[in-house]
Structure 1
Amino acid sequence: MKKRLEGKRALVTAAAQGIGEATARAFAEAGATVVATDINAEKLAELDSVPGITTQVLNVMDRAAIEAFFKDEAAFDILFNCAGTVHNGSILDCTDDDWDMAFNLNVKSMFHMSQAVLPGMIAAGTGSIINISSIAAHKGLPNRFAYGASKAAVLGLTKAIAADFVTNGIRCNSICPGTVQSPSLNDRIAAFEDPVAARKQFVARQPMGRLGSVDEIAAAAMYLASDDSVFTTGTQMNVDGGMSI
């Protein structure tokens, strides 16, 4: 039986760990030829032994590096934009550097990666771009000022790409996760004065009473990457344990 992504080429950013890694593995298992990228060369190399995955160190905030990468690559059917950062703090805590970092990594990297992948998709007459946003784009969360603003911008970017290329056979959608158990979350929790209490607070704000898993987000990405979603574009899929209810 044919696998869901058989014959497709997929590009995944932030693939060294967390949601990016889970999605790269899921895409490969579904039959895609996956190019997994990240700036963490050591962690990324752990994917080299996975059938269907090749790795490439890539800084998605470096436009010249992106352009050089695409010169040596064939066209992709799928782009999964996963690279991002979470700034903790309100507007009173946010510096210009914090704001710029949030928008450069969370939004501008998607702009440059999508811009680079689109010509190949247009030529092929097909493609799926999937952007990781956040439930913070829909709902104000305490101490997520720069993060929420940047993730809301991802929704606008997604809809704009979808509208411009809907007649070219290209779809662009976003996923808005709630709080997901990942190495990134572990690092943020560890930075609190009381990590145990902090973890309990993260869990408590999830109506389902638990954190999401990276595999649950990867499953949403699988749907949007596959031909099961050929009539779906410009949407945001909330995979948030009920936070948006």
Structure 2
Amino acid sequence: MNEDSHPSHRHQPVAVVTGAASGIGRATALRLAREGYELALLDVDPVGTAETCERIRQADGRAHPFRVDLSSPDEVASVVGTVEVNVGRPTLLVNVAGIGVAATVLETSDEDWDRVLAVNLTGPFLTTRAILPSMVAAGQGVIINVASVAGQIGLARRAAYCASKAGLVGLTRAVAVDHAKQGIRCVAICPGTVETEWIGKILANAEDPAAARAAMAARQLDGQLGSPDEIAAVIAFVAGAEGRFINGAALIIDGGLTTA
């Protein structure tokens, strides 16, 4: 790490973003860099994370990539320790990383169930547990968990995904209740259908990709998919001073999908 990026030479707040290699995670990292944060980017995909870092650096921001299996307690604890020593103590944690499997309960294998819960729910638990002590010591911190409308309503053939995101909303509320008096806020963001690389893969595997995309878009009241940048903008607002009064909430940002 070069001298000007060492904590002693830095006055920027530090944010940790998981799932930063693509989609909402990448958009969030780029937005937070523009907001003045120095970023520690955690993902299992080193190539995508390096690309996100490079885009931030090209815009004169500071970002550092870390490859980590977010379902591993040892790896998460180790990388958070490295971030705190070499980048700085985070005042913001944004848990974006997530995966999904298209399956009903009857179709979901033990392996897929464990994998989805490990990434979508255990991962945020581990990062929160690792970072909370320094936030509590500082008397301030914001934790934002990217859940989903699938944590609020049922979606067809997404049994494990719905369960994991509902659990993440519950974890969010528990952290908010337990740590509000210590200066910590914890908020869940619940997007609807957002045009990410993951959605792109789902559409590419559909029998009729154009029809599948049209059906996804039609679920929103205005007939349009959301964009990662729109979700990132909400995350930046919640994280900032103007979001002070938002705590323990599950904010639905879905183009009206859950209204109809």
Same fold (TM over 0.5): yes
1:151-166 alignment to 2 at 5 Å?
151-166=165-180
Q: Aligned equivalents of 1:205 and 1:230: distance in 2? A: 32
Task: Give the alignment partner of residue 196 of structure 1, picking from 210, 216, 227.
Answer: 210
Q: Deviations over 1:156-213 (max 9, x none)?
A: 0000000000100000000000000011100111122221221111111112200000
Decide whether the 8 Å contact of 1:11 with 1:35 is kept in 2.
yes
CA deviations over 1:1-51 (Å, ceiling 9, x no partner) = xxxxx8321000010110000000000011011111211111111133322
Q: CA deviation at 1:133?
A: 0.6
- 2:147 matched to 1:133? yes
The TM-score with structure 1 as length reference comes to: 0.95
Which residue number in structure 2 is paired with residue 56 of structure 1? 66
Q: How does 1:222-237 map to 2 (within 5 A)?
A: 222-237=236-251
Distance in 2, matches of 1:47 and 1:187, equals 20
- Give me the whole-angstrom Cα distance separating, in 2, the residues matched to 1:48 and 1:179: 26
Q: Which 4+ residue blocks in structure 1 deviate beyond 3 angstroms?
A: none
Q: CA deviation at 1:73?
A: 2.4
> Amino acid of the residue matched to residue 34 of structure 2?
E
Equivalent residue number for residue 110 of structure 2? 96
TM-score scaled to structure 2, two decimals?
0.89
- Please list every run of 5 or more consecutive structure 1 residues that lacks an aligned counterpart in the other structure: 1-5
The CA distance in 1 between the partners of 2:53 and 2:173, in whole Å, is: 34
Q: How do 1:137-148 and structure 2 match up within 5 A?
A: 137-148=151-162
Secondary structure at the aligned position of 1:241 is classed as coil
Aligned to 1:3: none
- Structure 2, unpaired ranges of 5+: 1-10
CA RMSD of the aligned region, Å?
1.2
Instruction: Identify the residue that residue 75 of structure 2 maps to in structure 1.
Output: 65
Q: Give identity over the alignment, percent.
A: 38
Amino acid at match of 1:94: T
**Could you tell me how far apart the structure 2 residues matched to 1:48 and 1:233 are?**
29
Structure 2 residue aligned with 1:239: 253
Question: Bigger shift: 47-56 or 94-103?
Answer: 47-56
Q: Secondary structure at the match of 1:73?
A: helix
Asked whether the equivalents of residues 89 and 145 of structure 1 are also in contact (C-alpha less than 8 Å), the reply is yes
| Letter of the structure 1 residue corresponding to residue 33 of structure 2 | A
Question: Between Structure 1 and Structure 2, how many residues are aligned?
Answer: 240
Q: Distance in 2 between matches of 1:33 and 1:240?
A: 29
